Amino acid sequence: MKFLDSIKSGIAKAEAADQNLNAVTAIFSELNAELSDYTDGKLKITRTMSLNSKVAAISAMGLESPASENTKSDIISLSSKTENKIYAEVARWRQHVSGFPCMLSFEGREYICENIEDLKAALGELLSSVIFGKALSKALL
């Protein structure tokens, strides 16, 4: 058995994962630029870890893969751009270390995103949801 083929395959998968992760980050950056314009620079969307996830990460230290902070995140929040303040948790979030699939859930619905187009559509649904509308209105008071 030649292990070199497996090594090359692993490198190719890692490069593809980096591209996918960067594409997801770019979508959130685009969303935040538009949200910032709408809110006069006051608000942004953040991907964060819930308290339970932080506790689990501490107890599993040394056992987990070298994933980025965003793949460890499990909450999407509406946050202040200028203060360290979260106004509302608006969705649940899960992201595979390869970038896709990622999963967004809110208002009893779950969106499994296999690619960037799916993610854009799911984020569009989130932004037009009742939970996000209420959170945004409250944060802008």
Q: What is the pLDDT of the chain when averaged over all its residues?
A: 89
> Which of 4-8, 64-68, 117-121 shows the lowest per-residue confidence on average (mean pLDDT)?
64-68
Please determine, for residue 16, whether its predicted confidence score (pLDDT) is greater than 90: yes
Extents of the domains making up the chain:
3-139
pTM, whole model, 2 decimals? 0.83
pLDDT reported for residue 37: 97
> Parallel, antiparallel, or unpaired: how do β-strands 109-113 and 102-106 relate?
antiparallel
